[in-house]
Amino acid sequence: MKHPVNSIDVIKPFAKALDEYSVSDVQVIGGINTVALENPNTVFDITNKLIIAPPELFLSTRRKDFLHSKRDLDVLVKSSDSDRIEAIRQCVVDTVNGQLVPSVFGYKSEEVLRRQMEQSLLGFTALKTVLSDRYEHDGGLDRAIYPLKVSIDLNSLETWRLVTGEDVLPVPNPAAQLVYYMVRSMTLLRPKDAEKVQDIASNVLSKAPGLRDWVVDGPCASQIELWKLLRSLTPNKNHADIFGVGGKVLSMDELAEDDSFMMKELSHEDRLRVLGVAAFKARTLSALESNPIVVGAFQYAIEPICNTIIQNN
């Protein structure tokens, strides 16, 4: 069996390229970032926005699933410019040499969200939407997962620096990373991520308790509201309340009249139909995500050819 390769070493050339060209609109999300957040020896410097991880930090380039598939390198480009996103994607390809799977994404255009709303009942664009995303409009941003959306405070996208030895990587605020896990999918926190995210939350919030207020009452507050709304689609599931925000689980009638519902022009009855489809998708996806064999097979064989679904295109 081959000696495991450390993702931290693989990503070093990419980190150096970002530094060399003074790239300021990129963040590495998940994977390498989360293993640092989970490490009990990691230090969080809120004043200087630094995550200082042990130099020996390790994350195998292979997942622990039964297929030992390659890990993704998830990179957010804070732009909707397709040329800019492609340039960063090519930089990832050129620097990681196939040892990680590039997953480079930016903000979606308002046009993509408009197509979802135009096909509100049975259109494929709307039906296939199961993941949340960031949608740009007139200089602002929304976080949406059909048929619900909230405005994003741009301060929630602030960049921190992950330091491991001599290497520095741009990453999100550690509390924002937790929020991303919470609202990534219409099923909320996936079973395969549950233990990891709870460990991260415990480590981060015990060392930097002020980050909870930054989320709940600060820049991430609207996305926490989205979490509460999505929780109402599957009210009988025990969703992890990482930040202890509580709140009422809404009925479908209440959800249909909430300000976050996208298609204000629909009648109440049609809104309920849309929410009924969304709730069905959430329940079905939740059942699939609870099966490790299905999850492993999806990541290995299906995910690479399902970009229009994974990336909400």
For 8, phi then psi, to 5°, come to -60, -40
Least trusted range by pLDDT, from 141-150, 271-280, 294-303: 294-303
In a domain, 300, yes or no: yes
CA-CA-CA-CA torsion sign (151, 112, 134, 201)? positive
- Report pLDDT for 160: 98
Beta strand 140-145 pairing with 72-77: unpaired
Strand partners, 101: 72
In a domain, 186, yes or no: yes
Q: How far apart are CA 51 and CA 36, in angstroms?
A: 8
In a domain, 58, yes or no: yes
Q: How far apart are CA 145 and CA 226, in angstroms?
A: 9
> Would you tell me the crossing angle of helices 221-231 and 174-183 to the nearest 10 degrees?
20
- Report pLDDT for 123: 55
Strand partners, 105: 76
In a domain, 1, yes or no: no
Give me the half-sphere count of Cα atoms (radius 13 Å) on the Cβ side of residue 24. 2
Domain count, the chain: 1
In a domain, 161, yes or no: yes
Task: Over range 51-67, report the average pLDDT.
Answer: 90
CA-CA-CA-CA torsion sign (54, 60, 64, 69)? positive
Tell me the whole-structure pTM to 2 decimals.
Answer: 0.89
Condensed to tens digits (0 to 9), the pLDDT of residues 163-201 reads: 999 999 999 999 999 999 999 998 898 888 889 999 999
pLDDT grade for 306, boundaries at 50, 70 and 90: very low
Is residue 136 left, alpha or beta, with left meaning phi > 0 and alpha meaning psi from -120 to 50? beta
Average pLDDT, the chain: 88
> Would you tell me the crossing angle of helices 191-207 and 174-183 to the nearest 10 degrees?
150
pLDDT grade for 309, boundaries at 50, 70 and 90: very low
Domain region containing 150? 7-310
Condensed to tens digits (0 to 9), the pLDDT of residues 104-123 reads: 999 999 888 888 777 665 55
In a domain, 285, yes or no: yes
Q: How far apart are CA 92 and CA 29, in angstroms?
A: 14
DSSP string, 140-194: EEEEEETTEEEEEPGGGG-EEEEEETTEEEEEE-HHHHHHHHHHSBTT-S-HHHH
- Report pLDDT for 121: 59
In a domain, 2, yes or no: no
